[in-house]
Amino acid sequence: METWFFRFVQSLTGNSLIDELMVFSAEFLVLLVPLTLLYLWFQDDQGRLDSIYAFTAVLSGLIVSYVVLAQVYQHDSPFQMYDTIASGEPENGFPSQHTTVVLSMILPMIWQSRKKLAALFLVSGILTGFSRIYIGEHFLIDILGAGLAASIGFIVMLLIQRYLSEEVKQLAELGYKVQKKIFSYLPADI
């Protein structure tokens, strides 16, 4: 099934415009995550908390991805076996870290009642996963593994929220004080 799906997606390549769009999606949609975290941080007190919790989910998802799942199952990336758009150094393809990062934002945004951001990350996560297969970086199993890592990251975030919420509030307050101090040194006319 995995090979069939990969070959099906690979059969769609060949249109230079779509190929470039998929390369862009595969490599750069992940940048929506830090931009969104910054956007949330600079909103208000609740936004800062939401940013910290979402960051916790992303970081936890990545740790699960690198430390746990990548040790449980290993295989080569497709570009090591097939002629694909992507190329690079040989590495374990499981799971997709780019997709893990983007998918890790969906559940926190739903939990925080930020439906538009949740929808943005759902679409971006699907597109990131599909484009990673399209360019030959990953197989479908790598994308599914990313979904698992993101889900576990969300569970870790919920545990932190449940048992360490006061500490997270203190961290947000400290971060805001540091932010205010840094910005106090900037000229007012900027």
Q: Are 140 and 6 in contact (CB under 8 A)?
A: yes
Nearest to 100 by CA among 128, 123, 79: 128
pLDDT of residue 188: 67
User: Which of 103 and 136 is assigned the larger pLDDT?
Assistant: 103
Predicted pLDDT at 75:
83
Enumerate residues 6+ apart whose C-beta is below 8 A from 138. Answer: 77, 78, 93, 96, 99, 129, 132
In order of start, what are the domains of the chain with their CATH numbers? Answer: 45-175 (1.20.144.10)
Written as one letter, the residue type at 118 is A
Answer whether 118's CB lies under 8 Å from 109's CB. Answer: yes
DSSP 69: I
Give residue 97's pLDDT.
94
pLDDT at 4: 87
Model confidence pLDDT, tens digit, residues 84-118 = 787 777 777 899 999 999 999 999 999 999 999 99
Cα torsion 181, 31, 109, 102: sign: negative
> Can you give the pLDDT at residue 1?
66
Question: pLDDT band at residue 189, thresholds of 50, 70 and 90?
Answer: low
Least confident span in 8-17, 34-43, 52-61, 125-134: 8-17
When pLDDT is cut at 50, 70 and 90, the band that residue 50 belongs to is very high
